[in-house]
Chains A and B, each alone.
Chain A
Amino acid sequence: MRRQLRWYGASPLHLLALLACFGLAGYAAARLVSSRPLAVAAWFIGAVVGHDLLLMPLYSLADRSVMAAIRHRDPQLPVTPWINYVRVPAALSGLLLVVWFPLILRLPSPYQASTTLSADPYVWHWLAVTGALFLLSAVAFALRLRGRSRTARLRPRSARRRALTPNPPGRGYEYQPDRPGHRRGLEGGPS
């Protein structure tokens, strides 16, 4: 892409590649929309904004709310060590719901008639998997807290302070030793 077309803003190859792309897409799209053009276009646009303007604001809001709520309750509590133990199971459960919501909510009317299977178990399966994910996460968090406090107990106080602040100054953002909440959160946290 060395030579630039000044009026265009990129190389001629860039233009050719995009025109070829639109040629193929147009050929397919003409067939795609042949029956119900407006409805198909609406689905297509919905697919573009579905994540960025719907899912993302929802999960970001949920994420921030959880962090803010906990921080509000106890401003000394470090957010980082525990947030992923909530975030991961919640997101994985949400992922299963986003993918399987028609069966979980028993929406497909032909399902039972065509497969002879009942859609009733899906909501329970989803809840069971969700429960298992949170349980696993809680166990993992408890193990981590125990591991941390044990290593901390085995060391003299000065070393202990260092162990709890793994990043040397200037290398990262977390576990700033001047924030007293960290020690409390790691040693006497919600274990």
Chain B
Amino acid sequence: MKDDERPAATRRSSPPPPREGRRKRRHRGKPPGPFGPSFWRSPIRGPWLTSVLGLILLAGVSVVFVTGLLSYAAYNPGLSRINDQTHGKGLLGFYLFSWPTHPVWLYRLNQGLHVTLGLVLIPVLLAKLWSVLPKLFEWPPLRSPAHALERLSLLLLVGGAGFEFATGILNIQQWYKFPGSFYTLHFYGAWVFVAGLVVHTGLKGRTVIRALRSRGLVRELRTDTAHTEPEPPGSSDLVSPVPGAPTISRRGALAFAGAGSLLLLATSAGQSLGGPLRRTALLAPHGQDLADGPNGFQINQTAAEVGIRAEQTGASWRLTLGDAGPGGPAPVRLSRADLLAMEQHTAHLPIACVEGWSTDNQAWTGVRLRDLARLAGISDPASVLVDSLEAGGAFRHAVLSAGQLIDPDSLLALRVNGADLSLDHGYPARVIVPANPGVHNTKWVASLTFARRA
């Protein structure tokens, strides 16, 4: 995939002379370099390759967008301001619904798909950007108001894509260099990107169909480098008027991008699949195993990092069960021994992070949240506010919905895989709710405050 090669004179199929003449006249006074059409020499660049890449990208990005919207819904932002990282969403939260608790792997699948597919699409995006490079240097830059507006929408499309991919890639590696909260940037940025994507898809739909019909996919996939010919000159701005000799076929270019996708898939999917496959994720942030043992599964926030002190989690720790409404019964205070003396349940649930990694099901043992609500004197709770011992941070507290509360698998877990929780997994007690985003399974729980139905 390169743009020079042999001098134009040795090339066999140069564009017909009259067209060349007209072109020259029309572009008189054009600055040299990339703004001239003959700067771009790749013989495979053209509407067909761009259309194929565009369609793959459109299908993939649609899944990434929808799973992204679902992930936002999974935080139940409509339930409480506490759950909402983007308070100003306004109409952009039109689709929100109460996040279900089943199947228990729902969030695990959603986020694994969102992040892994996002990574897999990077080479396709780069190939697509490469395929339309001459468009950035179109001359004259603005031909009409329509052309100007369309180029502005491309700014949203390309800028939005780069912005979304960059913030996502940096966030999963915890390199928080982007300007502001990840949630704000990634959520609103997605809508800017999608605005550009929808209009681009609409405006280019016919061009894509025409381009795909112009060359059969099967025939193109059977064509090697030696037999690769440029698309007809003048059929599109993307086609070079002076194409160089091919160094790769269209089939080869697609395989090239596909190899990049496969490589990213192979070196990252393991962190979402878990089990023995985790270690195949050679470059993903959660591709390493922790030490063996009942607590030997992935952690994304340690007690030390959030400033939990030993004396807070020792024998003096008490869980406070409260009633959010006025005039309710006095708060109930329970020690860890009190909790262990209550009816214990075991639920097999994964931890799944917004960053895409997840664990296999772990056997969590503890007290059902609905039993604790009853103990607090509330038989029909509408929601519960879970507060952690953490002193700060956006996820030191979370609000769980009625549906999450009454699920028999929703626990205040005290033990995992037959052992006490480790400090980094939330000792003395943590919340675990099926299909819940990881950060809402609050660790080091200090209090549960139940709200009654109005």
Contact = CB atoms under 8 A, between A and B. Distances in A.
A36 B252 CA distance: 43
A9 B143 contact: yes
B123 interface: yes
A52 B2 CA distance: 14
A8 to B, nearest CB: 5
A69 interface: no
A115 B227 contact: no
A159 interface: no
Chain A CB within 10 Å — which of B160, B185, B283, B302 has the most?
A: B283
A29 interface: yes
**Interface majority SS (helix, strand, loop, mixed), chain A:** helix
A25 to B, nearest CB: 4
Interface residues of B, number: 96
A31 B88 contact: yes
B95 interface: no
Given A14-B203, A172-B227, A174-B245, A95 B2 contact: no
B2 A63 contact: yes
Interface in A1-28: 5, 7-10, 14-15, 17-18, 20-22, 24-25, 27-28
A170 B155 contact: no
Chain B CB within 10 Å — which of A17, A28, A117, A118 has the most?
A: A28
Contacts of B417: none
Contacts of A139: none
Interface string B147-159: 1011011011011
B71 interface: no
Interface string B130-156: 100100100000011111011011011
A18 B153 contact: yes
Given A17-B203, A20-B199, A88-B259, A102 B170 contact: yes
A32 B146 contact: no
Given A48-B162, A91-B260, A115-B286, A80 B174 contact: no
Interface string A77-94: 001100110011001100
A99 B119 contact: yes
B229 A52 contact: no
Interface stretch (B15-23, B190-198, B311-319): B190-198
Contact of B283 (A31, A34, A103, A108): A103
B282 A125 contact: yes
Interface stretch (B48-56, B74-82, B176-184): B176-184
B86 A31 contact: yes
B184 A21 contact: no
**Interface majority SS (helix, strand, loop, mixed), chain B:** helix
Given A47-B166, A108-B173, A110-B174, A52 B92 contact: no
A96 B145 contact: no
B228 A67 contact: no
A143 interface: no
A17 B199 contact: yes
A151 interface: no
B439 to A, nearest CB: 12
Contact of A21 (B198, B245, B248, B290): B198
Contacts of A122: 283
Interface residues of A, number: 80
A63 to B, nearest CB: 5
Interface string A119-139: 001100110110001000000
Contact of B11 (A21, A34, A125, A173): A173
A5 B144 CA distance: 11
B156 A46 contact: no
B324 to A, nearest CB: 30
Contacts of B225: 80, 174
Given A18-B199, A28-B191, A99-B119, A111 B229 contact: no
A157 interface: no
B195 A28 contact: yes
A8 B149 CA distance: 10
A50 interface: yes
Interface string B256-268: 1001100110010
B224 A21 contact: no
By Cβ-Cβ distance, the 10 closest A-B pairs, closest first, are A47-B162, A9-B144, A39-B179, A173-B245, A28-B191, A10-B146, A9-B146, A32-B188, A21-B199, A102-B175
Interface of A: 5, 7-10, 14-15, 17-18, 20-22, 24-25, 27-29, 31-32, 34-36, 39-40, 42-48, 50-52, 55-56, 60, 63-64, 67, 79-80, 83-84, 87-88, 91-92, 95-96, 99-100, 102-104, 107-108, 110-111, 113-118, 121-122, 125-126, 128-129, 133, 166-167, 170-175
